[in-house]
Structure 1
């Protein structure tokens, strides 16, 4: 099934806001983001990579429907990630699913255990092949749009999708990448309905949508 993404990836959580208020590269170890300070990358990863993901904002949106048919859209984020674009144009990203943050700790815990099953599937991995020369040729303060194919590995499944991206070159060593439209992650296709149904039941909801829009904005820098 064709999706519409990120990226970044990109990426990814996912339809799980149904609880009550009560993603490993050897060169790129995942680190916790802390915008505006960004993330710390190892010396080894810097040597192997051309563009490093310095900071990112990865958000997902969940729509739940109560017994009175009222739709409620809620937002969450992921705080731990890593990524790079190497000199051959290989884009790789990871999102640590244990870093999900919905502002409600019991809900976060249920999402991790029931939906993501992080003990078995701790990460989301995103890969793509980009035109590295095209990125370098983009002028400073110029922007361009690009539809980029993505391969996403999530919950033991691998899916093919694409992201409509806007890329802005802030200076010779910095690019900003954002999704122009959300990427829709299909939990039914990923065989995550058991966890989603558990979240629906514990909240006494009518339903939680299995289609989860994800937005990405990230800053890549040359080391």
Structure 2
């Protein structure tokens, strides 16, 4: 009797894990956001975000997020235009892409709850340059199997790492500003729907 119950329990557990770990998820743009803070004149900070994000997590744990750089929203139309043309150069580099393998981390998500995943290794492909990043992520799974991923700490992006420092200088000159920070904190909150 005990053996039969144990086998049944093991089977149900395996079924749950199979459904969870070997599922596919798609990013819900309406419930997701990637934001960043720009700093000008050394003391003035302003928050901005992107309105068009796509992403997926497949059954191998391969995680990809695609940011449409032309969708930047600063709430000032001329600034949006300058960012897309001078800094992001969207005609040549339309998207920023973040990739990571979350398969090792998915194993801890055996039941709904929150976890801090320290030091997730990721790669950012932005403006024709790629850089490895270590990101602390807070992950939550709910009963339906959907996931939310949020940055536990902001990710600092340096313009020099991605060849956009000249674009920052052009923005500074056009706006007549004494300074614009060349390192910015980026945060994200992403919802992934189980398919």
Higher relative CO (CA 8 A, sep ≥ 6), structure 1 or 2?
1
- 1:51 alignment partner, one of 10, 17, 25: 25
Give the 3 Å change call, closer, same or farther, for CA 216–135 of structure 1 in structure 2.
farther
User: What SS does structure 2 have at the residue aligned with 1:82?
Assistant: strand
Unaligned runs of 5+ in 2: 1-22
* Alignment: residue pair count: 171
Q: Does 1:118 align with 2:93?
A: no
How far apart, CA to CA, are the structure 2 residues paired with 1:137 and 1:96? 30
Contact 2:54–2:67 under 8 Å retained in 1:
yes
Write the deviation string for residues 74-96 of structure 1: whole angstroms up to 9, x where unpaired: 01110111101100010011000
Q: Does 1:212 align with 2:184?
A: yes
Give the 3 Å change call, closer, same or farther, for CA 148–133 of structure 1 in structure 2.
closer
Write the deviation string for residues 73-129 of structure 1: whole angstroms up to 9, x where unpaired: 001110111101100010011000000010010110001111001111000011111
Unaligned runs of 5+ in 1: 1-48
The residue aligned with 1:44 is none
Write the deviation string for residues 44-94 of structure 1: whole angstroms up to 9, x where unpaired: xxxxx70111131111000111xxxx5100011101111011000100110
- Indicate the structure with greater helix content: 2
Contact 1:64–1:209 under 8 Å retained in 2:
yes
Q: Does 1:202 align with 2:174?
A: yes
- TM (normalized to structure 1)? 0.73
User: What SS does structure 2 have at the residue aligned with 1:110?
Assistant: helix
The residue aligned with 2:78 is 106
Question: Structure 1 runs of 4+ off > 4 angstroms?
Answer: none
How far apart, CA to CA, are the structure 1 residues paired with 2:37 and 2:153? 13
How far apart, CA to CA, are the structure 2 residues paired with 1:111 and 1:135? 40
The residue aligned with 2:116 is 145
Contact 1:88–1:132 under 8 Å retained in 2:
no
Return the offset for 1:132.
Answer: 6.1
Write the deviation string for residues 144-167 of structure 1: whole angstroms up to 9, x where unpaired: 111211111000100101110001
How far apart, CA to CA, are the structure 2 residues paired with 1:132 and 1:61? 31
